[in-house]
Structure 1
Amino acid sequence: MHGVMGRPPGAARNKTPATPRVMLMLLVVMTGVAPISLYLLVPALPLLATTFGREIDVAQMTVSLYMVGIACSQIIMGPLSDRFGRRPVLLAGLTLMVAASVGCIAAQSLPQLIAGRFLQALGGASGMVISRAIIRDLYPRERIGAMISLVVGVMMIAQMLSPLTGGLLETAFGWRAIFYMITAIALATAVAIALALPETRRAGSGKSGFRGDVGKLFGSRAFIGYMLCQVLASQIIFVFAGGGPYIVVTQMGRSAAEYGAWFATTAFAYLIGNLCCVRFAPRHSLERLIWFGLALQVAGSSLNFVWSLAGVNQVAAVLFGTQMIVMFANAFVMSNSAAGAISVRPEAAGTASGAMGFLQMGLGSLISQLGADLGGHFATTLPLTSVILMLSAACASTMVFIVPRRKVVLSEELIEQAEVESGML
């Protein structure tokens, strides 16, 4: 956790800064509360359908609309945190999550539960978007990617255990016990933030308003390029997650449990990639880490495509072995391109993070469905691996054709800083 500033420049002076380790844990829990709550309920979906006498696709809406809630939260909570501060928006979001979780406990019908889940995500996902903005507030540009990777890496350990925990709770105490746990997690997170999180927003942030921040962000080639790089990289995860089950179960004739084991290998590779990014970041620039990830991502995607042409990756070990290379590289690309996007205009970091998260989740819902269609309607892995290769190539193209060279970016930042200091903005 070296590299953190004791107090961000211009930050509010209303609270003693948390220690680096405390800050790391706060970032992890606020980032993880929404995705952990998502995966806790997944094992109970068949029981929900049976309990309320509805079809499984209706019960699935407790997951799909939860993801819609996460996307909506990104575009709402990020700009609000630029305007009103990180702490109040976080606390308001988590309060909404606690109230919605209590509503889920008391739900007497599936539509009530679905509505509660949407509000749960709307409030809980505030931590996902605001955590990136807080990291930008606290750390210099070259450390942001490493800190995002560190937070994601620690969070993933808890996230990977969430389905198992949810299944054990449902088996032992019933599905409502899952929401008792979610309520407790959200409440504990809110209390920890209220007690230990300082306000990190820079003084003067949010003065230009949402429209002004959006206009300046989307008028920057650097922001658009970094954002598209991050969003396109994330779609590789969504498309493979959407098509993987159909390929393994339908095409290869393996069990769902075996698919779960193979999929865990890609999640493990992504985790290791994030930890390696933390390790390498102090010695390499943000752009160099992105290019390393892009090169490895394109190489892994190309190899997967070649295996598909040859018919080799109809064997699960080959398909997932190559995909592990892609996922390892994906960690470098996503964390560092996200760092680049939220660093273009630091005083609008919440708005930048929200726009990026909204596009990521919004496109992800469509891309995951595309992956399911490609995996379920073809007898070969070639359509799926072709899309992954195209996404990897498009991801690299954003850095080649859109993001300016670093000298240009530095000049823009210095000009903007001078304008701020002279009172022009």
Structure 2
Amino acid sequence: MLLLLVAMTGIAPISLYMLVPALPELARTFGADISIAQMTVSLYMVGLAFSQLIMGPLSDRFGRRPVLLAGLGLMVIAGIASSFAFTLPQLIAARFFQALGGATGMVMSRAIIRDLYPRERVGAMISLVIAVMMIAQMLSPLAGGLLEIGFGWRSIFYVITGASVIVTLAILILLPETRWRIATESGGGGFMADAKVLLRSRTFLGYLLCYVGSSWIIFTFAGGGPYVVVNQMGRSSAEYGAWFACTGFGYLMGNVFCVRLAPRRGLEQLIWFGLALQFGGALLNVVWGLAGLNQMPAWLFLTHMIVMFGNAFVMSNSAAGALSIRPQAAGATSGMMGFLQMGLGSLCSQFGAYLGGHFTTPVPLNIALVLLSCGCAAAMIFLVPRGGIVATKRMIEEAEGEETGLL
């Protein structure tokens, strides 16, 4: 089950990062500007965002397995179309549909984890899946670059399509339906009813904003980091890639430690531990910048590793909290989380690029990370009551009672 969850979670993001090294070759092959070739990545992210908003509620209604198989089947078909695209617009369109199908695995993995495990173990299981997936995701740009150099850019799509077929077959053969475990306990009232109850819950909104705010820290830094290292510090893009891998390693280790600590600590304790590290690391980088030390990559990235280590605790456990508010609507919850994460995350990436490219110091970028960390903490302080889920369940029962009375 762990390997299946890793595979369905990772197939879409790995497909995203594998193509990035081949973007200059795509522009040369089709005689297009690099900004047009970049649309194979940017519209892919748009597809990831909107797909999760659609596929999550569908899985609550029709089950995880059929929606997952349909989505991955679409990814296979789109992958074949990408492999034989003759024009760049054809490739961009095929990549968009590839993302629509592949994102199903991302949203479904969180919902399946909530179907199978109690609230206390959800955060640890999400961390475990992410930790294993991060290893493959960190290696995917290297794999894509080697494939492009050795066999041409189309070989990347051959590999992605082949992997999609293998994952689809593995799910068809090995994955049971998990939706019934929750559905038999308490039936959902449809997407609109579920969304209405969720959005009335301050606790849900608190966990949701804490989760997406932490993910926006990643997107903001990723958008501004290249400009800071290459333009401000005068280093090469290869050196930036090496330093950026360090932050991925910090996130990986954060998930590993989260898995170890989860059985002995409560969900809110783990979130606050991560928030403290996330805020402290971001604030330290501001201090280094004001002191003039942050013009060396080591000061910037080694301190940002603290941010990413704490970020892993915040994201996995706030996701577990949001998914536990209304378990029978885990698909819809996961879809909303993914939509806000990817949809607004792309805007945060653009904002980070502006901060990194229009200033001569990384201080503005790091101030933005401090403010996002404060926003995550504020969501927990002002929206999540003491006793988190227990307090919220009472509110949800009252809301459901009002709806039943109206019916």
SS at match of 1:314: coil
Aligned to 1:151: 129
Counterpart residue type for residue 297 of structure 2: A
Partner Cα distance (1:424, 1:371) in 2: 46
Aligned to 1:166: 144
Aligned to 1:65: 43
Partner Cα distance (1:418, 1:381) in 2: 49
Q: Deviations over 1:25-63 (max 9, x none)?
A: 000000000000001111111111000010011000000
Counterpart residue type for residue 331 of structure 1: A
Match of 1:393 among 346, 361, 374: 374
Query: Does the Cα contact within 8 Å between 1:82 and 1:206 map onto a contact in 2?
Result: no
Query: Does the Cα contact within 8 Å between 1:83 and 1:206 map onto a contact in 2?
Result: no
Task: Using the TM superposition, give the Cα deviation of residue 210 of structure 1 relative to its aligned residue in structure 2, in angstroms.
Answer: 1.1
Task: Using the TM superposition, give the Cα deviation of residue 413 of structure 1 relative to its aligned residue in structure 2, in angstroms.
Answer: 2.5
Q: Deviations over 1:81-120 (max 9, x none)?
A: 1010000000000000000001111111000000000000
Relative to structure 2, which stretch is displaced further, 411-420 or 88-97?
A: 411-420
Partner Cα distance (1:358, 1:280) in 2: 29
Match of 1:135 among 113, 118, 124: 113
SS at match of 1:67: helix
Partner Cα distance (1:419, 1:302) in 2: 41
Match of 2:210 among 229, 244, 247: 229
Partner Cα distance (2:188, 2:385) in 1: 27
Aligned to 2:291: 310
Query: Does the Cα contact within 8 Å between 2:188 and 2:194 map onto a contact in 1?
Result: no
Task: Mark the runs of 5 or more structure 1 residues left unpaired by the alignment.
Answer: 1-22
Counterpart residue type for residue 361 of structure 1: M
Counterpart residue type for residue 36 of structure 1: I
Partner Cα distance (2:127, 2:297) in 1: 28
SS at match of 1:254: coil
Partner Cα distance (1:418, 1:375) in 2: 48
What TM-score do you get using the length of structure 1 for normalisation? 0.92
**What is the RMSD of the two structures over their aligned residues, measured on CA atoms?**
1.7
Q: Deviations over 1:362-400 (max 9, x none)?
A: 111001001101001100111101100000111111110
Task: Using the TM superposition, give the Cα deviation of residue 412 of structure 1 relative to its aligned residue in structure 2, in angstroms.
Answer: 3.6
SS at match of 1:313: coil
Query: Does the Cα contact within 8 Å between 2:188 and 2:328 map onto a contact in 1?
Result: no
Task: Using the TM superposition, give the Cα deviation of residue 203 of structure 1 relative to its aligned residue in structure 2, in angstroms.
Answer: 2.2
- The answer to whether structure 1 residue 253 and structure 2 residue 234 are counterparts is yes
Match of 2:94 among 104, 107, 116: 116
Query: Does the Cα contact within 8 Å between 2:201 and 2:396 map onto a contact in 1?
Result: no
Aligned to 1:405: 386
Aligned to 2:272: 291
Task: Using the TM superposition, give the Cα deviation of residue 209 of structure 1 relative to its aligned residue in structure 2, in angstroms.
Answer: 1.1
Relative to structure 2, which stretch is displaced further, 301-310 or 242-251?
A: 301-310
Aligned to 1:82: 60
Partner Cα distance (1:365, 1:24) in 2: 29
Aligned to 2:71: 93
Relative to structure 2, which stretch is displaced further, 172-181 or 57-66?
A: 172-181
Aligned to 2:28: 50
Q: Deviations over 1:127-178 (max 9, x none)?
A: 0011000000011101100000000000010111111111111111111111
Counterpart residue type for residue 413 of structure 1: K
Q: Deviations over 1:337-367 (max 9, x none)?
A: 0110011000000101100110011111001
Query: Does the Cα contact within 8 Å between 1:93 and 1:123 map onto a contact in 2?
Result: yes
Partner Cα distance (1:392, 1:313) in 2: 20
Change (3 A) 1:356 1:419: closer
